[in-house]
Structure 1
Amino acid sequence: MKLELTTDQYRWIDGWLHLWGAWVQTGRIDKSMINMIAKFMATVEPQQCSRQVCSDDDGMLISRVVGAHLQQIDSNAYKVLLAYYVYQSSEIRIASWQHATASPRLMKTRGGNQYKKPSISTVRREVKDTLNAALFCLYQPMQNAFIVRDNAKKISKNVDNVLAF
């Protein structure tokens, strides 16, 4: 059974992560958080287009969620997410990079299980699946984080109004 987001859920998280990716790329986040992939991405030509950026509050909130629910659990998924949303690398480019650095591993073949390097199409499929799984894992925690923050703002505003009397 594949766990997938609905179209609306995908659009919501994809939109926020694109804004967050642009925010991270502006350098407003601690560079040590993205150091794992920074060396590889330094070789990529920078994008010359301007991107919409989320606010610092939103960026920090999303960074906390991504750090807590992805970076600590699956470093490869974190790298794929950064490459895709921060550095705007395509799934094909990410797969090419992972394929170039892949080591042989135990794989099912027609001749039985053997150690071999995965094909580029296998790696492309894995990158797509990794990205989709990362979005699925981040969706509900991000929703919850935004709801909690918005509720805290409402409570704070109500307390300020009560104290004003």
Structure 2
Amino acid sequence: MKLELTKDQYQWIDQWLQLWGAWTQTGKIDKSMINMIAKFMATVQPQESSRPVCSDDDGMLIDGVIRHYLKNIDENAWRVLFAYYVCNSSEISIATWQHAICSPRMMRTRAGNQYKRPSISTVRREVKGVLNASLYCLYQPLQNAFICRDNVKKVAKKVDNVLAF
């Protein structure tokens, strides 16, 4: 059984992550979070300045969910997501970069299990899988975070209205 998002779910999270990526590029995020991969990918792909950006509140919320559910659990998945959404890199450029730095590893071959360096197509499939798995893992926590924040705003607004009388 493959864990995949529906088309609507994918479009929803992709839209928010595109906005978060542009917001992160503006430099409003904590500078210590940007590591070597971001610096490298920024030199590979020119950054566009015309991307739509989310609000600071939305950016901080999305960033918090990504840090909690992805960065603290799988650093490579976070790097792939960061390169894709913040640096606006394609899957193939991310795969090319990862292929250039990968080491030989145990792989199943026709001759049995052997240590070998994976091909670029293998790394590309892995990048696509990591990206899809990351989106799947982030979808529900991100949706819950937006719902909880909206509920808090509604309660605060009701309290303000009651206090105004």
TM-score, normalised via structure 1 length:
0.97
Corresponding position of 1:157: 157
Task: State how many pairs are aligned.
Answer: 165
- Indicate how the Cα distance of structure 1 residues 5 and 52 shifts in structure 2: closer, same or farther if over 3 A, else same: same
Corresponding position of 2:25: 25
TM-score, normalised via structure 2 length:
0.97
Residues 29-67 of structure 1: CA deviation (Å, up to 9, x unaligned): 012112142332242242345100000000000000000
Corresponding position of 2:130: 130
2 CA distance for matches of 1:99 and 1:35? 19
2 CA distance for matches of 1:114 and 1:164? 73
Structure 2 segments unaligned to the other structure (5+ residues): none
Residues 48-104 of structure 1: CA deviation (Å, up to 9, x unaligned): 451000000000000000000000000000000000000000000000000000100
2 CA distance for matches of 1:83 and 1:137? 18
Structure 1 segments unaligned to the other structure (5+ residues): none
Corresponding position of 1:98: 98
Corresponding position of 1:74: 74
Q: Is the 8 A contact 1:99 1:119 kept in 2?
A: yes
Corresponding position of 2:3: 3
Moved over 3 A (4+): none
2 CA distance for matches of 1:8 and 1:45? 28
2 CA distance for matches of 1:111 and 1:45? 39
Corresponding position of 1:64: 64
Work out the percentage of aligned pairs sharing the same amino acid: 75
Q: Is the 8 A contact 1:108 1:114 kept in 2?
A: yes
Residues 129-162 of structure 1: CA deviation (Å, up to 9, x unaligned): 0000000000000000000000000000000011
Q: Give the aligned residue type for 2:44.
A: V
SS at match of 2:44: coil
Q: Give the aligned residue type for 1:103.
A: S
Q: Is the 8 A contact 2:107 2:116 kept in 1?
A: yes
2 CA distance for matches of 1:35 and 1:106? 28
1 CA distance for matches of 2:74 and 2:4? 18
2 CA distance for matches of 1:48 and 1:81? 17
Supply the RMSD in Å over aligned alpha carbons. Answer: 1.0
Q: Is the 8 A contact 1:36 1:79 kept in 2?
A: no
